[in-house]
Amino acid sequence: MATFTTTINLSPEDVRILKSEGYSLYGFKSVTASGDGSPAVWFNLPAERILGSVKITWQDEFEAYNSLTSVTPNIRIDAINSVQADLGHLITIDKGSGNLNVSTDGFDGAISFINLDSHRFTVGVSQTVNGKPGIICAFPILGSGSSRIITPLPKIALIFSTEQIEVGTIVTKAMSSGAYINLKNVNSRTLNYNVNDGWSGDGGPWLKNFNAFTDLKKLLIENASREELALSEKFV
């Protein structure tokens, strides 16, 4: 199981300012999928835990969930069922109960969903970060054989903000400026944050800065239809 880390370095003065003004660090995770999905707050590091060196650690350890909560901005997703899932697994929503069953009939590198119930649900993936699973995305899925295929990507977004937002809440607009970090082909990144100058790294293309009010759906949800039609047709 792969482990990834991102380390953020801050000066003592920046730490003092962030703590005194009540800033928290929010994290988001990117995925590839089709359909009108949204990112959710993956983790929230409160002001009292902001130090001169902040280390975020996550693993390729996943859960799949379904929910009756609609995919609506500023609403927290409450899962009604969740199961451990690996890449390549297929999650079947059972007809009549809405329960989840796991098989290895999915697509490589992705977590796939098929809804055999006649009820519409919200589905998505959680990924372990700092030792706890956190919801990273939410997608609507219709009933009667509809499908979703979600591929977690090695990309994260970080935002310092004074807003108070619960983990698992749908957020579609950046609360403040942030950093979009690509960890493709590496397991760690180190970057710096300054309250006036923002985020910086080693000058490589792996770090992209974005502004407040950036559309996080466009930033974090990379669209790809994959094999959803073929998956649905298997269960007709």
Domain edges within the chain: 3-233
What does the pLDDT read at residue 36? 87
Q: What amino acid occupies position 43?
A: F
What does the pLDDT read at residue 2? 87
Q: What amino acid occupies position 11?
A: S
pLDDT per residue as tens digits for the range 62-101: 999 999 999 999 999 999 999 999 999 999 999 999 999 9
pLDDT per residue as tens digits for the range 126-156: 999 999 999 999 999 999 899 999 999 999 9
**Are the C-beta atoms of 215 and 30 separated by less than 8 Å?**
no
Tokens of 53: 């060196």
N-terminal to C-terminal alpha carbon distance within the chain? 35
Other C-beta atoms lying within 10 Å of the C-beta of residue 110? 23
Return the C-alpha torsion angle 200, 202, 205, 210, nearest 10: 0
Burial class (CB in 10 A: 0-12, 13-18, 19+), 232: middle
Output phi, psi for 49, to 5 deg: -100, 5
What does the pLDDT read at residue 230? 56
What does the pLDDT read at residue 236? 45
Per-residue pLDDT, averaged over 103-115, amounts to 95
Instruction: Give the separation between CA 201 and CA 135, rounded to whole angstroms.
Output: 27
pLDDT per residue as tens digits for the range 165-196: 999 999 999 999 999 999 999 999 999 999 99
